[in-house]
Amino acid sequence: MRDTRESRLLLVLLIAIAFALITVDIRGGEESPVDGARQAASTVFGPVENGVAAAVDPVGNAIGAVRASGDRHDKIAALEQQNAALKAKLGSDDQNRSRVRELDKMLKKSAAGQYGIKAAEVIAIGAAQGFSWTVTIDAGSRDGLKRDMTVLNGDGLVGRVTTVGPDTATVLLANDPDFTVGTRMESTDELGFATGQGSRPLAVQFLNGKAKVKKGDRLVTFGSSKDKPFVPGVPVGEVVRVDPSGGDLTRTVYVRPYVGFTKLDIVGIVVQAPREDPRDMVLPKKPAKPAKPKPTPTVTVTISPNGDIVDTGGNVVGNIHESANPSGGPSPNPSGNATPNADNAVNEQR
């Protein structure tokens, strides 16, 4: 439509009519004179609106999905956190079970040796004193700890207490080069001194240069005066190598310690020494030796000229003719020649 004076007047007239109808409709309420026209328009244009709504509905769903995606992301993140928490709890349970086993084993060791111990946890490695092989434990003077107390775990000798604070203490490990402990060998009671060598086996010098030592022999602590710094009977380790004596006054062997110094967790500090030396009672039981195989009996038999089989006791246990011909057929010639079949062989050649 062209923008003319008539078109403008028509537009103004239509707008005025529209406002007039709106006013009449509002004032009329439920009895509005245009209500019939509204219902007719709804009847005509309702199906069209439903069709358009159906066509646009996927778009609306997509928009709703985009709006809800943030909520789902938050739910997924929450589930992931819960999953991580459950995994951590399971891992913690496994660790707790492992620590309970360690504590139980240590308590059994202390019961066997009649040691009074104070349990503690390793909370740090190394110390300000500059020792190369030390750990810090979460027990101190308030727990009754003092310098030069023996430290052990469920496997054996861990070390000795060197520094004590109110709530913590430093333990010098048995594999430190500055560590030395008196030892006694199981059964033979040969005495020696074990010295730490870091990650290598302990070096043990026996006082007897002619001491009979072999691989697999086991050692325990000999004990100190007034049980400090070492109480007796604590397992130290097992001999893994023996150097030739060479006529020296002492003899050196190498011992693999029972304790794994790189994986310490729960330890026990001996706060009360045993009344009597437990000697070898704290050592674990040796594995049973495998039974020697029984020799298979050998039976010697001889064959008599008539074919009887005779054992070493002179008893006839059979006859070669019977065993070779159980059906009762012709027996073979004892000389080994196939005489009965000779004619057949000649005929075949002809």
Beta pairing class for 191-197 and 157-164: unpaired
Percent of the chain with pLDDT over 90: 41
Q: Quote the pLDDT of residue 346.
A: 36
Does position 128 have pLDDT exceeding 70, yes or no? Answer: no
> How much is the average pLDDT of 236-249?
84
Split at pLDDT 50, 70, 90, the class of 342 is: very low
Rg of the chain over all Cα atoms, to the nearest angstrom:
50
Residue partners of 148: CB distance under 8 A and separation at least 6: 160, 161, 162, 228, 229
Q: How far apart are the first and last CA of the chain?
A: 134
Split at pLDDT 50, 70, 90, the class of 30 is: low
Half-sphere exposure of 256 (CA within 13 A, CB side): 8
Split at pLDDT 50, 70, 90, the class of 129 is: low
Q: Quote the pLDDT of residue 127.
A: 54
Quick: pLDDT tens for 134-155. 999 999 999 999 999 999 999 9
Q: Quote the pLDDT of residue 146.
A: 95
Does position 337 have pLDDT exceeding 60, yes or no? Answer: no
Quick: pLDDT tens for 293-328. 777 767 676 777 777 777 776 777 777 777 555 554
> How much is the average pLDDT of 238-254?
84
> How much is the average pLDDT of 11-39?
62
Looking at residue 126, what DSSP letter applies? -
Q: Say how far apart CA 144 and CA 166 lie, in whole Å.
A: 10
Going from the C-alpha of 23 to that of each of 29, 32, 34, the distances in angstroms are 10, 10, 11
Query: Residue 347 class from Cβ within 10 Å (0-12 exposed, 13-18 middle, 19+ buried)?
Result: exposed
Going from the C-alpha of 56 to that of each of 14, 50, 144, the distances in angstroms are 32, 10, 80
Does position 122 have pLDDT exceeding 90, yes or no? Answer: yes
The pTM of this model reads 0.58
Residue 317 is inside which H or E element, if any?
Answer: strand 316-319
> How much is the average pLDDT of 319-339?
52
Residue partners of 176: CB distance under 8 A and separation at least 6: 131, 132, 133, 134, 159, 196, 198
Strand ranges of the sheet holding 302-303, from the earlier edge strand across to the other edge: 302-303, 308-310, 316-319
> How much is the average pLDDT of 158-184?
95
Residues in the chain: 350
Split at pLDDT 50, 70, 90, the class of 335 is: very low
Residue carrying the six token digits 């660790």: 95
Q: Say how far apart CA 282 and CA 301 lie, in whole Å.
A: 57
Q: Quote the pLDDT of residue 209.
A: 86
Of 52-66, 139-153, 326-340, highest mean pLDDT: 139-153
- Please say whether the beta carbons of 182 and 191 come within 8 A: yes
Q: Say how far apart CA 182 and CA 204 lie, in whole Å.
A: 9
Q: Quote the pLDDT of residue 227.
A: 92
Query: Residue 173 class from Cβ within 10 Å (0-12 exposed, 13-18 middle, 19+ buried)?
Result: buried
Q: Quote the pLDDT of residue 1.
A: 53
Quick: pLDDT tens for 261-278. 999 999 999 999 999 999
